[in-house]
Amino acid sequence: MHAMEPSCNMAWTVAAMGKWKREVIVMMLLLLISTTIAKEVRKAKGGRHRKRHSATGGQAIINGTSSNSSEAYCLSWRMAVEANNMRGWRTIPTECWRHVQGYMVGGQYYRDINLIIDQIYGYLDGVTPLGDGFDAWIFDVDDTCLSNLYYYRAKRFGCDPYNPTEFKTWASKGESPAIPAVLDLFNKLIQVGFKVILLTGRDQETLGEATVDNLLNQGFVGYERLIMRSPEYRGQSAVMYKSEIRRQIMEQGYRIWGNVGDQWSDLQGNFSGDRTFKFPNPMYFVP
């Protein structure tokens, strides 16, 4: 009897379940339908909401002159370039012509450079050169000491592809103006005892004289050395060529305290220097 009880109870439970089951299934179906509908509605709303949200978010950050999508894209493009996430590009996107123009001539470019130079002064405050005549500091020349902004303005700030012949014609004039804050830094470094070495990919044979003249007429006086690309380095990437020259400089006993350039290829490779400082340049890329 005692043994029967469980099975009896079970029979009752199953019978009760039969009645319950129908109600439970109906309720579950209703629940499923209502959640599905709710989900669909939310999805439809959310899609629109997400889109609107991202557009507003973008505008809030880049409000003012940068409220259209091309401006937003060009800001991203320029950031990717400066962070070295975009490499080997030959021209700037045509839609970014006005954006890059605005950046280069609207004041922000020089503000960015001035802030970097503030960082350099901060770095200099914390170091103690040995003062033995071997404390070196390296500068690149083009768009680091001397500005080619006038040339690139005629090239739609880099929308037109690099033309070596035309650039040579421009550089031969020796009329590239100094970047004022760099000239101040240059003078300060020499004054406190650094040996300033100018290292450029410019061709020694064809641009040697014009470059010396240009540096002089812009006030870059008192540098230790101007190293230009001699025939044996023709065709080499800037990274390879500049690394090799820096190796030679180190071999001669110099310590490279700092290295400043507008291209990543000025700063990459070997013997880069204790600190490197990258200037902005959204107009062209040198490998």
Ligand X SMILES: *[C@@H]1O[C@H](CO)[C@@H](O)[C@H](O)[C@H]1NC(C)=O
Which residues of this protein are in contact with ligand X, per CB under 6 A?
59-60, 63-64, 239-240, 243, 269-270
* CA 85 to each of CA 79, 88, 89, 238, 267: distance values in angstroms, whole numbers, following the listed order: 8, 10, 11, 18, 15
4 binds, options Mg ion, ligand X, none, Cβ within 5 to 8 A by partner type:
none
Nearer to Mg ion, 72 or 181 (CB): 181
**What is the number of alpha carbons within 13 Å of residue 81 lying toward its C-beta?**
26
Dist CA 257 CA 276 (whole Å): 9
240 binds, options Mg ion, ligand X, none, Cβ within 5 to 8 A by partner type:
ligand X
Sequential DSSP letters for 29-91: HHHHHHHHHHHHHHHHHHHHHHHHHHHHHHHHHS-SS--SHHHHHHHHHHHHHHTT-S-S--S
Nearer to ligand X, 214 or 243 (CB): 243
Dist CA 15 CA 30 (whole Å): 24
Tokens 């103690």 belong to residue: 128
Dist CA 287 CA 279 (whole Å): 16
135 binds, options Mg ion, ligand X, none, Cβ within 5 to 8 A by partner type:
none
Nearer to Mg ion, 71 or 233 (CB): 233
Dmax over CA atoms of the chain, in Å, equals 118
Q: CB within 8 A of 279, min separation 6: which ones?
A: 112, 113, 116, 143, 144, 260, 261, 262
Residue 58: CB minimum distance to ligand X, A: 9
The residues in 19-48 that bind Mg ion, with binding defined as CB under 5 A, are: none
**Interface region with Mg ion, contact rule CB under 5 A, candidates 17-25, 103-111, 180-188, 254-262:** 254-262
| Amino acid making up residue 180 | P
Residue 140 interacts with Mg ion (CB under 5 A)?
A: yes
Residue 280: CB minimum distance to ligand X, A: 23
The residues in 257-276 that bind Mg ion, with binding defined as CB under 5 A, are: 262
262 binds, options Mg ion, ligand X, none, Cβ within 5 to 8 A by partner type:
Mg ion
End-to-end CA gap in the chain = 94
Residue 263: CB minimum distance to Mg ion, A: 5
Which of 117, 142, 194, 197 is the binder for Mg ion (CB under 5 A)? Answer: 142
Nearer to Mg ion, 41 or 86 (CB): 86
Nearer to ligand X, 63 or 128 (CB): 63
172 binds, options Mg ion, ligand X, none, Cβ within 5 to 8 A by partner type:
none
* CA 11 to each of CA 2, 18, 28, 58: distance values in angstroms, whole numbers, following the listed order: 15, 11, 25, 66
Residue 235: CB minimum distance to ligand X, A: 15
Dist CA 272 CA 141 (whole Å): 16
Nearer to ligand X, 91 or 268 (CB): 268
Nearer to ligand X, 228 or 238 (CB): 238
Nearer to ligand X, 64 or 164 (CB): 64
Bridge partners (DSSP) of residue 198 are: 139, 226
140 binds, options ligand X, Mg ion, none, Cβ within 5 to 8 A by partner type:
Mg ion
Tell me which residues touch Mg ion (CB under 5 A). Answer: 140, 142-143, 262
